[in-house]
Structure 1
């Protein structure tokens, strides 16, 4: 299926998926939290850590910076950042207390401590304007109102601060796209069986494919970032556009 035009993409995404986002995804992540990382290692054929290393490679850090990891999940990004630069003031935010509890334990097991963990709606970030040097977001924007969230991230970034994004995207090549969805249908079924997924996660399998069909390609997401006022936007595609990495800066003066 062809995605809707870029100008109305967000409106149609929200119309189609709003009920899932507001009423169903919470239960999905409660279900998958205990095995989320292990399932993704299997589903990605062992590439999960490679994706993270590629994401880390586009993030520039300085000692003592204040960092916000949005949709932090099990804190994979926060842990990697703190291991690289322990002096960071790192804050995590996620809507799922279950995922953050797993993340808190993972960080604690590695002798790391986050500055804060906030549970709430990431479309309304509870932080002041011009507050963070760096904001990161991985594996979540398919389930969010992208323009609203990216606008909030722009608000809380300091002038000159950088936003780093990584997610599964809609490949620009139609043949790759079809193969991608076929693979995802199979991997979701296999991991659901292996880990004994509950009804919430099993019921969301169709949604996960449909969300990608209506999502953005790497080039389209770059365009959205520029339209929202970000500058110096760069992107990097992995696996023929199945995974996209973006870095963008808040201008020194709007």
Structure 2
């Protein structure tokens, strides 16, 4: 079936796009497999720990209630997965990521907190979710959407598996909206950040990927428009810390 789909794409003139998407997927997988052991430390360092405040803001907006189910996509080392599990009583939380090394770090955190009975981790593809329609009260994705080859397809899958009335929450890096902060941020992002990756994580090439991925990613207003195109209603977009991150919430 996969071969037939590839052949069909070739016949319709989208073979180049398919190869580009596969190349991006492979590259991103290699990046996260390599940086997994240092991922949490580097997140704190590179964001000046602001990612924790952003996630706390997202959790406040979600207002998770006991008994509500959640799927956390691109869950990485599981900080957001754990935060949801600690709020929703005895309900289960599922975390999905394509990097086994990132999930390995996440499993250790979950075990230390004694949450193995509440959290299931799955290695999988966020653009081809192995879940039934209308399954979860929440579907979240934190700092992962920009790394996927097809943003629309990922959001469509999130829309499919969330329940009617349920919400999809995307917390992601974005683009500053005012000067001179915008210029200063891009100097940091393109010049200083990869050097910090090289110094502290021995991963210059991997951390050079971050500004490259962000350059191609929609700003917070463009991403809001994509949410609406997919079919979400009551879409909210919140620029954070001068626009270097953004929170998007959409209702099915």
TM-score greater than 0.5 by the shorter chain: yes
Cα distance in 2 for residues equivalent to 1:176 and 1:49? 21
For residue 249 of structure 1, the aligned residue among 228, 236, 251 is: 251
1:170 aligned to 2:175?
Answer: yes
Structure 1 stretches of 4+ moved >6 Å: none
Query: What is the Cα deviation at residue 183 of structure 1?
Result: 1.0
List aligned pairs for 1:177-196, cutoff 5 A.
177-185=182-190, 186-196=192-202
Partner residue in 1 for 2:161:
156
1:119 aligned to 2:159?
Answer: no
Query: What is the Cα deviation at residue 81 of structure 1?
Result: 1.1
Cα distance in 1 for residues equivalent to 2:50 and 2:195? 19
1:135 aligned to 2:134?
Answer: no
Bigger relative contact order, structure 1 or 2 (CA pairs below 8 A, ≥6 apart): 1
Partner residue in 2 for 1:146:
151
Cα distance in 1 for residues equivalent to 2:32 and 2:251? 31
Cα distance in 1 for residues equivalent to 2:152 and 2:178? 24
Cα distance in 2 for residues equivalent to 1:45 and 1:207? 19
Cα distance in 2 for residues equivalent to 1:53 and 1:174? 26
Q: TM-score, normalised by structure 2?
A: 0.86
Query: What is the Cα deviation at residue 17 of structure 1?
Result: 5.8
Give structure 1 stretches of 5+ with no counterpart.
1-10
Partner residue in 2 for 1:87:
90
Partner residue in 1 for 2:222:
220
Q: Secondary structure at the match of 2:138?
A: strand
RMSD over equivalenced CA pairs, Å: 2.0
Give structure 2 stretches of 5+ with no counterpart.
1-13
Q: TM-score, normalised by structure 1?
A: 0.85
Cα distance in 1 for residues equivalent to 2:194 and 2:53? 20
Q: Is the 8 A contact 1:43 1:188 kept in 2?
A: no
Cα distance in 1 for residues equivalent to 2:104 and 2:94? 14
Alpha-carbon deviations, 1:131-189, whole Å to 9, x = none? 11111100011111110000000011111111111000123447544322211231231
Q: Is the 8 A contact 2:72 2:80 kept in 1?
A: yes
